[in-house]
Amino acid sequence: MVPNPPSAPSDAQLDQVKEAVRALLHQPDYDDGSAGPILVRLAWHSAGTYCATTNTGGSNGAGMRYEQEGGDPANAGLQHARAFLEPIKKRFPWITYADLWTLAATVAIKEMGGPEVTWSGGRTDFTDESKIPPRGRLPDAAQGADHLRFIFYRMGFNDQEIVALSGAHNLGRCHSENSGFEGKWVNQPTRFSNQYFKLLLVNDWKKKKLDNGLEQFVYVDEEVELEDNEEPEELMMLPTDISLLSDPKFKIWVERYAEDKDLFFDHFSRVFAKLLELGIRRDASGKVVNDENTEGGYRS
Q: Which residues make up the interface to ligand HIF (CB under 6 A)?
A: 37-38, 40-41, 44, 77, 139, 141, 148, 165-166, 168-169, 171-175, 178-179, 181, 238, 240
Chain residue whose CB lies nearest ligand HIF: 172
Cα dihedral sign for 89, 94, 99, 105?
Answer: negative
Kindly tell me which of 48 and 61 has the beta carbon lying closer to ligand HIF: 48
The residues that bridge with 125 in the sheet, in sequence order, are 61
Residue 293 C-beta: closest distance to ligand HIF, Å: 21
CB of residue 177 vs ligand HIF: minimum separation in angstroms? 8
Q: What is the distance between the alpha carbons of residues 238 and 214, in angstroms, rounded to a whole number?
A: 10
Contact yes or no for 37/258 (Cβ under 8 A): no
Report whether 160 contacts 253 (CB < 8 A).
yes
What is the C-alpha to C-alpha distance for residues 66 and 104, in angstroms, rounded to an integer?
20
Nearer to ligand HIF, 152 or 298 (CB): 152
Nearest to 3 by CA among 243, 257, 297: 297
Cβ at position 57, least distance to ligand HIF in Å: 14
Residue closer to ligand HIF, measured from CB, 8 or 21: 21
CA angle 103, 106, 108 (to 5 degrees): 110
Q: How many CB atoms within 10 Å of residue 200?
A: 25
What's the closest the beta carbon of residue 137 comes to ligand HIF, in angstroms? 12
Residue type, 231: E
Q: Which residues are tagged catalytic?
A: 45, 185
Smallest gap, in angstroms, from Cβ of residue 139 to ligand HIF? 4
Nearer to ligand HIF (CB atom), residue 124 or residue 170: 170
DSSP state letters, 214-255: -EEEEEE-SSS---TTPPPPEEEE-HHHHHHHHSHHHHHHHH
